[in-house]
Amino acid sequence: MSLWKILSVIAVCLLQDRLPYEGSIPAVAVIPRLDVTAVLRTWRIKGVMYCPWRGHTKPCLWVENAYPCGLLEVVRQQFKSHLPELPQFPLRTTTSGHNLGNLHFAETRVFTFVPPLVQELEIPIAAPRPKFLINYLSELDALGWRTGLLDLLFAFGKDCAGNWGCYSPRSGYVEQQSEVIAAHLQALRGGRVASQPFGRVVLFPYQFEPRTGHFIQMISPIVRPAVSIGSPDLEKLEKGNVSPFGAYLFAQWGLFDECRHCLDPRYLPARPPVK
């Protein structure tokens, strides 16, 4: 980034209280930015089931596909958010996001975000019930997110998102050359904390633990196609996607299967990432 761009960003920050990304993406505006091709790319038939339904036997198509289930936000300014709906929270004295050499620190938020199917589709799609919840704000989990002290009491296996990095330690510090890949990993770690609190300050447990081989899509600063978590193509992941404010918004796409009226939507296990 040129010196001129850096100076412009600093000038913008000094001239206004609100940063340009703050409140720029209402939750509703995320829907048209979702990469719907992710549903079609991952859609496959697993089989056919027959089950009793209203007095007779009904067949259903057992399908699997990706479906949006969460919003993961990574910012370097406390209590600032892309989502204008995020209400004011009581400020606490904690450190804010920063970079130090290859060490990146950022705040992370996790929201359950399962949008409704806007229209009836001809093909059956595995989709959990629409839901919207605030699950985790790392600012409220200062001790855990900054030190990872309580996590030392538990044994977390060496579970990694391919060569992006590992899901633990579940803290906001990531050693990574690229800020973009660091942001992806920080978002996933936040999701892991929210889904398995183990004593961490979580507002509401998150049902959709981020898993390798499921999908994540950058929504801000640039709308990108959904990519498999742990995908080895790091260059594609980071090229031209750096936020001047270190602020990133991602949509998490979980892999689900469902056989309507026979089998409720199920969140599927991790799998090897695809290119």
Q: What length does the chain have? A: 275
Contacts of 149 (CB under 8 A, 6+ apart): 143
**Residues in 143-162 that interact with other proteins by CB under 8 A:** 143-144, 149-150, 152-154
Least separation, in Å, of the C-beta of 208 and other proteins?
Answer: 15
In this chain, which of 49, 61, 140, 223 binds other proteins, going by CB under 8 A?
140
| Residue 223 CB-half CA count within 13 A | 9
Q: Looking at beta carbons only, is 44 or 92 nearer to other proteins?
A: 92
3-state secondary structure of 98: strand
Q: Looking at beta carbons only, is 1 or 153 nearer to other proteins?
A: 153
Q: Looking at beta carbons only, is 77 or 147 nearer to other proteins?
A: 147
H or E stretch at 254: strand 248-259
Instruction: Write the DSSP string, 136-159.
Output: EEGGGGHHHHHH-TGGGGS-----
The closest alpha carbon to 250, from 266, 268, 229, belongs to 229
Draw the binding track, 188-207, toward other proteins (x: CB under 8 A; -: no contact).
---------xxxxxxxx---
Q: Does 50 help bind other proteins (rule: CB under 8 A)?
A: no
In this chain, which of 8, 98, 123, 132 binds other proteins, going by CB under 8 A?
132
Binding site for other proteins (CB under 8 A): 27-28, 31, 85, 87, 89-90, 112, 115-116, 118-119, 130-135, 140, 142-144, 149-150, 152-154, 197-204
